[in-house]
Amino acid sequence: MNKTALLLSVFFGAIGMAYLAYGKKQGEPTPALVGIGLCAFPWFVTNIWAMVLVGLVLTAVPWLL
């Protein structure tokens, strides 16, 4: 894993933790599930561009739904 992938993993993981805390506090499942997804997807996606794309899509899901 290179530095960029590690930095992106930490960045999207932090956003995921915020979504998870918000969803849990408000009792809404969509932000909570997206938060879990944002914390977990860097384990499975190793390509930098795919990581950015998946992270941005997951970050936008609660705003779009």
**47 class by beta-carbon count within 10 Å (0-12 exposed, 13-18 middle, 19+ buried):** exposed
Quick one: DSSP state of residue 36? H
For residue 18, the number of C-alpha atoms closer than 13 Å in the C-beta half-sphere is 8
Of 51, 61, 65, the closest CA to residue 11 belongs to 51
Predicted model pTM = 0.90
pLDDT digits (tens, 9 = 90+) for 5-52: 999 999 999 999 999 999 999 999 999 999 999 999 999 998 999 999
Q: Would the pLDDT of 1 be above 90?
A: no
* CB-CB contact of 61 with 12 (8 Å): no
Residue 32 structural domain: 3-64
Q: Which amino acid is at 15?
A: I
pLDDT at 60: 96
pLDDT grade, residue 65 (50/70/90)?
confident
Q: Report how many domains make up the chain.
A: 1
